[in-house]
A and B are shown apart, each in its own frame.
Chain A
Amino acid sequence: MLIWLFAAVAGFPGRSSESQAEDRRSLQRAASGDSAGLAALYDRHGRAVYSLAIRILGDEGDAEEVTQDVFAQAWRRGGQYDEARGTVAAWLLVMARTRAIDRFRARRVRPEGRVQDDDGMTLQQLPATSPDVASEMMAAERGQRVRQALEALPFLQRVAIELAYFEGLSQREIAERLEQPLGTVKTRMRLGLLKLRDALVEGQP
């Protein structure tokens, strides 16, 4: 029970409380104008924020702007962070998702603005070399668990969840796209999330 409660607060089951405490300290420092605090936050979460933005937007330039925006927000409004609502990492990632989806929607509204995502994706800029191979490997392992849990879902449950989370469609839009009754989409999302929860939380030692 306690583990469940903790996982709820942590935003990801098993995420250690020390790293949250460290993140909180860094955020407090950043909010009080200390750029070292911001640097520490960026070094721990910049990659995850950027990766989420690039997944949603499919464009490196846009993903960089979203990342910059998220850390600007942490710098200016770090004081508004409320630990009761989740970890610092979850807070940063939720901001990244919201901003990326907003941008994505704005782009969909203006047909002219559709990205040239085919020539836009160049590999000219080599990725930064990893400063911390060990923590990246941990992140990769964690990511793989979530991915496997997602892939294990029945196709339409997974599609409904991914369309909502990564493509920013509302449940009504999803129902239209999939030509399913709205009630069915609600049920599929719910079943899918319950299965994900079971795979990710109960699988914890």
Chain B
Amino acid sequence: MNTAHDELKHDAAAYALDALEAAERAAFEAHLGSCAECAADVRQMRLAAGPLPHAVPQVSPPPSLRARILGEIAGAAAPASAPAPAMVAGETRGLPAWLQIAAMLAIGAGVFFYAQRMQARVSNLEAQLRQAQTLVAAAERQTLEARNVAFRAQSAMGVFAAPDVARIDLAGQPVAQTARARALWSRARGMVFTVSNLPPLPPGRVYQVWVVTSQAPVSAGLLTPDASGGGSVYFETPVDILPPTAVAVTLEPAGGVPAPTGAMYLVGKPSPL
């Protein structure tokens, strides 16, 4: 039992993230029933994993989805609001004439004050409506932005999971012999570029990453390494790019250039993953 525990205790995080394969999960769950330590550990891991769905940019579904769900699933249209109670018509027949006139005068006066109050309320409501419209417009803008962020975030992580991912290991060139880098590239998802041991940048310069194709090198983007000369960056690359024959890093003027001009620091060719 202790051996099982020693073997399985490191799986709590993967279990909470649902990253165990079926057999591993079965073994871990069997162990969980009898191990208070692992059960407590899983609870801690779930505290962290539980909120993960909230990290995704929030995107509003189209309104038609609500109608479809309520219509098809619940077999009924969206529940209508409760029917308004029917107005009961006043019974005025048979009243003495003077009382009818008095009633009409009273109603007329009432209507006058009512109209005045209504007008104040209407302009108040109009102001609120304008405010609400501004908020809605802002929310729509946010949603569009969020949607773009969602797709970008998905691309960055999706590179690792992409079926067409290619790995490119880059070796340091004479100007930077100890530098190393690895690029993971997918046509649909873009490129994750991880580098270490690049020399510090001279002032006014920046490293630029190139995807080399059979035609011309295409700039993937700029790279400013951290103090140790390392870093990880995600680049979006054009989906209509030719298959890369190499990836390279050159030293270029700050802001980057349309075609490589400076010394080559790193270069490497794709290898199948």
A: residues with CB less than 8 A from B are 4, 7-8, 11-13, 30, 35-36, 38-39, 42-43, 46-48, 50-52, 54-56, 58, 60, 63-64, 67-68, 71-72, 75, 86, 90, 93, 96-98, 101, 108, 111, 114, 117-118, 121, 123, 125-130, 133, 136, 139-140, 142-143, 146-147, 150, 155, 159, 161-172, 174, 177-178, 183, 186-187, 189-190, 192-197, 200-201
Contacts and interface: CB of A to CB of B under 8 A. Distances in A.
Contact of A140 (B49, B58, B60, B135): B58
Given A129-B139, A170-B21, A36 B48 contact: no
Name which of B48, B165, B194 has the most chain A CB atoms within 10 A of its CB: B48
A143 B18 contact: no
Contacts of B61: 46-47, 50, 63-64, 67, 127-128
B150 interface: yes
Contacts, number: 241
Interface residues of B, number: 68
Interface of B: 10-14, 16-21, 24, 43-63, 65-66, 68-70, 72-76, 78-79, 132, 135-136, 139-140, 142-144, 147, 150-151, 153-154, 157-158, 160-161, 163, 165, 188, 194, 232, 239
Given A47-B60, A190-B13, A96 B53 contact: yes
A68 B21 contact: no
B83 to A, nearest CB: 14
A51 B142 CA distance: 14
A143 B73 contact: no
Given A55-B154, A139-B54, A171-B20, A47 B59 contact: yes
Question: Which 8 residue pairs across A and B have the least CB separation, nearest first?
Answer: A35-B74, A164-B19, A127-B60, A196-B48, A55-B56, A197-B48, A189-B13, A164-B17
A71 B50 contact: no
Name which of B58, B72, B136 has the most chain A CB atoms within 10 A of its CB: B58
A64 B239 contact: no
A46 B69 CA distance: 10
B184 to A, nearest CB: 8
Contact of B47 (A7, A123, A136): A7
A178 B160 contact: yes
Chain B interface mostly: helix
Contacts of A193: 13, 16-17, 44-45, 48-49
A64 B55 CA distance: 19
A93 B12 contact: no
Contacts of B69: 38, 42, 46, 67-68, 71-72
Contact of B50 (A67, A86, A133): A86
A117 B151 CA distance: 10
